[in-house]
A and B are shown apart, each in its own frame.
Chain A
Amino acid sequence: MSRNRLESHTGATLDFTFNGKAYQGIVGDTLASALLANGVDVVGRSFKYARPRGIFGHGAEEPNAIIQLGAGAATIPNLKATQVELYQGLEASSVNGWPSVDFDVMGIIGAFGRLMPPGFYYKTFMYPKKLWMTYEHFIRKAAGLGATPVEADPDSYDKLNQHCDVLVVGAGPAGLVAAREAARTGARVIIADEQSEFGGSLLASKQTIDGRIATDWIASLVAELAAYKNVQLLPRSTVFGYYDHNFLTILERRTDHLALSAPSGTRQRIHRVRAAQVVLATGAFERPLVFAHNDIPGVMLASSVSTYVNRYGVAPGNKLVVFTTNDNAYQTALDWHQTGRQVVAVVDSRTNPSGEIVDAVKALGIEVLVGHGLIEARGKKRVKAALVAPINESGTQVVGAVRYLDSDLIACSGGWSPAIHLSSHTGAKPVWDPNIVGFRPGASKQQERSAGACRGTFDLAGCLAEGASAGAEAAKLSGRGDGGLQFPGFSVEEYSEQPQQALFLVPHTQSTSRAPSQFVDFQLDVSASGIELAVREGFESVEHVKRYTALGFGTDQGKLGNINGMAILANALDQSIAETGTTIFRPSYTPTTFGAIAGRDVNHLFDPERYTAMHRWHQQQGAEFEDVGQWKRPWYFPQSGESLQKAVNREGLAVRNSVGILDASTLGKIDIQGPDAAEFITRMYTNSYLKLAPGKCRYGVMLKEDGMIFDDGVCACLADNHYLMFTTTGGAAGVLAWLELWQQTEWPELQVYFTSVTDHWTTATVTGPNARKVIAKVCNDIELSNEAFGFMDWRDGTVAGVKARIFRISFTGELSYEVNVPAHYGRHIWEALIAAGEEFNITPYGTETMHVLRAEKGFIIVGQDTDGSMTPADMNMDWVVGKNKAFSFIGKRSLQRSDTVRENRKQLVGLKTLKGSDVLPEGAQVVFDAKQKIPMSMQGHVTSSYYSASLGHSIALAVVKGGHSRLGQVVYCPLADGRSIAAEIVSSVFYDPKGERQHV
């Protein structure tokens, strides 16, 4: 039996290690209770001064016992030992302390703590200037608590979107009865609690409710709730954020109590809850007292000592001194007394405590020192003594002789701070209540109410009553029940309590700046003197003090330290706590695993991969793919070890000399119908569609209202009042929303409907001089001659037995047929075309070759040759802008602004390197004078650049200032490697300048 385990408490044993040493705990233990049972005092070192620290609390509030769980890929940094459930084989270690927590060299630095007041780093390390990065290197060495894994997470996580009528946060007495009242109305209820079991603080209580011992009462209530179909019980579930419109997030730990890594299924799950009504029943945190060296292991919260005794059967010491400002902590003396260990004394700051419970303690013969303060703890790695002294009534001065109390455990209680975190997340402003000496939740900003200790109601009967009516009220407001209570009354035995004293900084015989450190925020070593120093330096706002001292910045987010810190600040500023105010609580209530927030949307599910109907064919051919938006498009089709360049040369030549085939299915396609369709389309494009006849297609450019090119594509007239618009692959969704926007919000009088058909059609582009011959082999119901089916026409017909629509449009400058069939036939048509083209060595090509071929023709790619600052004129595409359109199409007016009509704008030109084998890098900058000094005067940049196998030299498109009037001039591209490539400005059309080949 471990030395601090009470004999009354038994259970199956579990083996675990801490810092490499083997220990045993009991089923139901947390790591903290097991460590305490084994008498482990020092569990970590503090962040700044590396002071030895022990377990201080028993739950979410724990500032000191931060541990690293396990090792390897599944290791978890920074868990609070008080929240880690023990399992067989658990391995944990301290996060700080080198070579060990018991002997930490950094501790030596702690001795120089006085050289490190708040903000010391702002005041030093500045000279000499160049040494800062070296200083920083060493400062950073001290950074961090635990260590992140260095491998990918072996576990998975998921999410549930939940909707409920009433969400109850916290399953203490208040939450449980709230859930019951709501449940019986038929409301959809979720009740979540961070702990492993429901019951909240009652789990550690010996009280009785309705004649039953607390734990039995909980068990039957939980069983009752579990029987409701409309109730979800979520233990081990932290409500970590309360967002707008009653949206709350819950982290459910599904397997963390079983093993380091999930034995099966998902490790953690986030519930994304939209609740009609919320009941917050999150309890309260006991507040530590700030006295000198209050951080020595063996100083704990009084309620924590009681919890370890009552719930875990662990007595974390032998000789207890209780230090309190209120009645409540007397219970700890009673609980301790029951273990048979010694209560040295109860030190009460109040001059005349007179409650029933005080008498009960006195009746046991325990010494009660009233009007006293515990002003300092002594000891190094464990409390050895408590220094107590009489203090004045207001608690500001030591007024008598100091007495040493021999002890190894100090349980302190400075009152209770309601857990108002979630209410604060909503923006509700906490209200200081001197009666409870704490902040209550502010007026609700959302559909929520608080009940129980989190509302400042500390008696059990009160908690139960409030919980019940909160549950009924929430249900009623969500539309269930009449608000009446099924269980209006509870009979509870409890001591009536006398008022507590507001004491935030325990006086010492020395002034705060000279006394041994009185810690406020343990994790970050923020002391009372640090806060006073911040004020002395002129930081008056509570937010400044937080940021200057780091108060509340830790992984406990100041659950214990904040109120004391603010009170000390208020005192230093000589103003009230209410005037001083609080800092803001924000999510996460307790830290939340990134992996859980990411959920299943990681790895291959990070973002949808969109495939065309031919995708598997491309894969089988060994295609390399390019990401275009969410689509996977074949980039090139390497044959046996071909490089990109080799493959592209081969693919391009095939198109120029015979025939190639491209999967163009990803292009956006929008079906447009209605009597005003032509008018509408004409308003959206720069050119006119009013006279486009059925059977015909036209290329158009779309501008945003600022006059800049936004998308382009072909639009075909399918029938009267019926059009099919093609968009770029990346632009599809945006263009559809754009059309809808204008039709719905600006011109609802125009009768036109839009429907996306991107996914419906599969498009195979057959292009090259032999294209017609290929099509002719699979299609015999369309007259394919150039006269009957000319360039920019489309026809319906049958291709390889499938009803198809063929467009004679070309992005290569060659004779082209774009064959469209419903996607179920996509692979069929593709394979049929490949088979038909076999005799012509039909060559599948990818996006890279497509880019080369169109660049040879000077066709632009929106987004590559344009960047949101280019007009059609800049692109040398004035021909696409209708000059005589009646309606001022979208973007037209902007083309007349002084900057858009300016000369010397960047304009699209071709660049031909003087040495044809030089290929300009895309993104190279263009200058007129290569010899100038840096900064150079940049005149434009290369937007597209390739080696053209069919031309035998490199080609490039670029935008150059005033480029259209600079044909023939030589410009330079200075490269990173020091070379400067010279190129001549030429027409952007390199191949077949007259455009004859697509018309054959």
Chain B
Amino acid sequence: MKKYSAFSLLKNALSYHENWQKVWRSPTPKKEYDVIVVGGGGHGLATAYYLAKVHGITNIAVIEKGYLGGGNTARNTTIIRSNYLWDEAAQLYDLSLKLWEGLSQELNYNVMFSQRGVLNLGHNLQDMRDIERRVNANRLNGIDGEVVSPQRIKEIAPLINISRDSRYPILGASWQPRGGTARHDAVAWGYARGADALGVDLIQQTEVTGIRRKDGAVVGVETSNGFIGARKVACVTAGNSGVVAAMAGLRLPVESRPLQALVSEPVKPCLDTVVMSNAVHGYISQSDKGDLVIGAGVDSYNGYGQRGSFHVVEHTIQAICELFPAFSRVRMNRQWGGVVDTCPDACPIISKTSVQGLYFNCGWGTGGFKATPGSGYVFADTVANDRPHPLAAAFNLDRFNSGALIDEHGAAGVAH
């Protein structure tokens, strides 16, 4: 892999960019792999990368039915934070955040991780109690964060409306300065390039259609391009996890729902942080290109259509106009949807299954982009060693039977 740098850019410019190397190969699949990762989203690619990098397993294929990073990785509002309530979640997301902090250098690919801070707004007294609780828990877990006043919020995001006369006035917020955003595509591409360089085969436009088992253990996958053998199969297929699980005769405690987002036309820099509000249902940041990136609440019904209902978008824009009355004259440029895998406790599943050699990493729902590095890291470890990584242990499938859920619903700011 040729290293990227300002110097390489200059050098290539002089030769009219005619000599750039391919970011990844387009290999023909081998007959058999040690590990097949199903799903070439951010999490799947990160899993493959860390399997190769940390565990030295390089006979790996990532099988993606569409194009790399084209699922929710391509569709999310890119919010990154680690201020989760429960210890288990907080530790997992903070591992992720720490990995984000060095990811561009690790991958030699600028994922544009921008630590511009995240505000989670509170609009009523219970919101504020929840925020206090969460921020205190974060602090004692070693995660940065503070509870800030409306005046401080206004300093951070000058266009925000902190009037007491609003329908749901802003009473305060949690503020995590280390949070922020990253360039979603770059994350997938950076991991893909890194994995490819370590020998991982990235196989696109190939759909896994079956999981072949023998004597209770997995032996490979059927694909739209034929059978490929594997000793271990690691499924990281987000919204399609239920479908893939069914291929192995399993059911999961996940439901796939539409989640929508939209962007405005690009405007000059006017919002230098990430603002999220669960109570009025909307969240917003501004991309480096200038568009306002806005996310909605999840649609109520199951759906695999990568689109949702207009009234959800209306509701979200109303919330944004409440928070930022000045944005009322800005215009929506594009809207789209993703299919998110929602879990009853709003926490992921990182788990072995009853089938030997078959692993699932899913259930990230509306908020897994921020976890991409950490998720890949602990999942790779789990797959490589056939036992849960300590930070993944709490996220096993068995919790739905025992009742040991990690209920992040209780905590304000759970979404995204």
Q: B269 an interface residue at 8 Å Cβ cutoff?
A: yes
Contact with A along B256-278 (1 / 0, CB 8 A): 00000000111111100000000
Q: A894 an interface residue at 8 Å Cβ cutoff?
A: yes
Q: A595 an interface residue at 8 Å Cβ cutoff?
A: yes
A664 smallest CB distance to B (angstroms): 18
Q: A77-B267, A543-B70, A602-B321 are in contact. Are A153 and B190 (CB under 8 A)?
A: no
Q: Check B168–A938 contact: CB distance below 8 A.
A: no
Q: B331 an interface residue at 8 Å Cβ cutoff?
A: yes
Q: Check A597–B317 contact: CB distance below 8 A.
A: yes
CA distance A544 to B189 in the complex (A): 10
A591's partner among B70, B134, B265, B336 (CB-CB below 8 A) is: B265
Q: Check A153–B322 contact: CB distance below 8 A.
A: no
A-B contact pairs, 28 of them (CB 8 A): A114-B13, A121-B110, A122-B110, A122-B189, A124-B4, A143-B290, A149-B329, A152-B326, A153-B321, A153-B326, A244-B309, A538-B24, A543-B70, A543-B74, A544-B67, A586-B336, A587-B335, A591-B265, A591-B333, A598-B321, A604-B167, A607-B167, A894-B403, A897-B401, A897-B402, A923-B133, A925-B140, A935-B87
Kindly name the residue among A514, A557, A606 whose own CB sees the greatest number of chain B CB atoms within 10 A: A606
Q: Check A243–B269 contact: CB distance below 8 A.
A: no
Contact with B along A588-620 (1 / 0, CB 8 A): 100111110111011110110100000000000
Q: A879 an interface residue at 8 Å Cβ cutoff?
A: no
Q: B26 an interface residue at 8 Å Cβ cutoff?
A: yes
Q: A126-B104, A513-B17, A897-B402 are in contact. Are A145 and B266 (CB under 8 A)?
A: yes
A938's partner among B87, B123, B322 (CB-CB below 8 A) is: B87
Besides A148-B330, A975-B136, A976-B135, 14 other A-B contacts (C-beta < 8 A) = A124-B4, A126-B108, A136-B288, A143-B289, A144-B267, A153-B329, A244-B307, A529-B16, A555-B333, A591-B264, A594-B327, A868-B409, A868-B410, A935-B141
Q: A249 an interface residue at 8 Å Cβ cutoff?
A: yes
CA distance A557 to B124 in the complex (A): 40
**Residue on A with the closest CB to B114?**
A136
B110's partner among A126, A144, A867 (CB-CB below 8 A) is: A126
Q: A571 an interface residue at 8 Å Cβ cutoff?
A: no
CA distance A627 to B166 in the complex (A): 11
Report the interface size class on chain A: 35 or more
A242 smallest CB distance to B (angstroms): 10
In A422-480, which residues have CB < 8 Å from any B CB? 427
Q: Check B110–A124 contact: CB distance below 8 A.
A: yes
Question: Which residues of chain A have C-beta atoms less than 8 A from B67's C-beta?
Answer: 541, 543-544
Count contacts on B: residues with CB < 8 A to the other chain: 114
The 9 closest A-B pairs by CB, nearest first: A923-B132, A144-B290, A867-B410, A591-B331, A153-B328, A595-B328, A923-B133, A538-B22, A152-B325
In A69-120, which residues have CB < 8 Å from any B CB? 74-78, 114-115, 117, 120
B140's partner among A76, A117, A706, A974 (CB-CB below 8 A) is: A974
CA distance A706 to B344 in the complex (A): 10
Contact with B along A912-933 (1 / 0, CB 8 A): 0000000001111101000000
Question: Which residues of chain A have C-beta atoms less than 8 A from B74's C-beta?
Answer: 543, 547
Q: Check B330–A77 contact: CB distance below 8 A.
A: yes
CA distance A144 to B113 in the complex (A): 19
A143's partner among B140, B161, B268, B410 (CB-CB below 8 A) is: B268
Q: B250 an interface residue at 8 Å Cβ cutoff?
A: no
**Residue on B with the closest CB to A115?**
B13
Q: A547-B74, A588-B334, A594-B321 are in contact. Are A78 and B328 (CB under 8 A)?
A: no
CA distance A626 to B123 in the complex (A): 10
Q: A147 an interface residue at 8 Å Cβ cutoff?
A: yes
Question: Which residues of chain B have C-beta atoms less than 8 A from A153's C-beta?
Answer: 321, 325-326, 328-329
Q: Check A555–B266 contact: CB distance below 8 A.
A: yes
How many residue pairs link A and B with beta carbons under 8 A? The number is: 330
Question: Which residues of chain B have C-beta atoms less than 8 A from A150's C-beta?
Answer: 159, 270, 326
Interface residues, chain A, CB within 8 Å of chain B?
Answer: 47, 74-78, 114-115, 117, 120-127, 129, 132-133, 136, 139-141, 143-153, 155, 241, 243-244, 247, 249, 272, 427, 513-514, 529, 533, 536-541, 543-544, 547-548, 550, 553, 555, 557, 586-588, 591-595, 597-599, 601-604, 606-607, 609, 626-628, 706-707, 863-864, 867-869, 894, 897-900, 921-925, 927, 934-936, 938, 941, 943, 974-976
Question: Which residues of chain A have C-beta atoms less than 8 A from B17's C-beta?
Answer: 114, 117, 513, 529, 533, 536
A148's partner among B13, B141, B268 (CB-CB below 8 A) is: B268
CA distance A543 to B5 in the complex (A): 26
Question: Which residues of chain B have C-beta atoms less than 8 A from A132's C-beta?
Answer: 104, 110, 112-114
Question: Which residues of chain A have C-beta atoms less than 8 A from B333's C-beta?
Answer: 555, 557, 588, 591
CA distance A238 to B11 in the complex (A): 48
**Residue on A with the closest CB to B23?**
A538
Q: Check A597–B313 contact: CB distance below 8 A.
A: yes
CA distance A975 to B147 in the complex (A): 12
Q: B404 an interface residue at 8 Å Cβ cutoff?
A: yes
**Residue on A with the closest CB to B145?**
A976
Q: Check A602–B322 contact: CB distance below 8 A.
A: yes
Q: Check B132–A924 contact: CB distance below 8 A.
A: yes
CA distance A23 to B154 in the complex (A): 41
Q: B142 an interface residue at 8 Å Cβ cutoff?
A: yes
Q: A122-B110, A150-B159, A586-B336 are in contact. Are A75 and B329 (CB under 8 A)?
A: yes
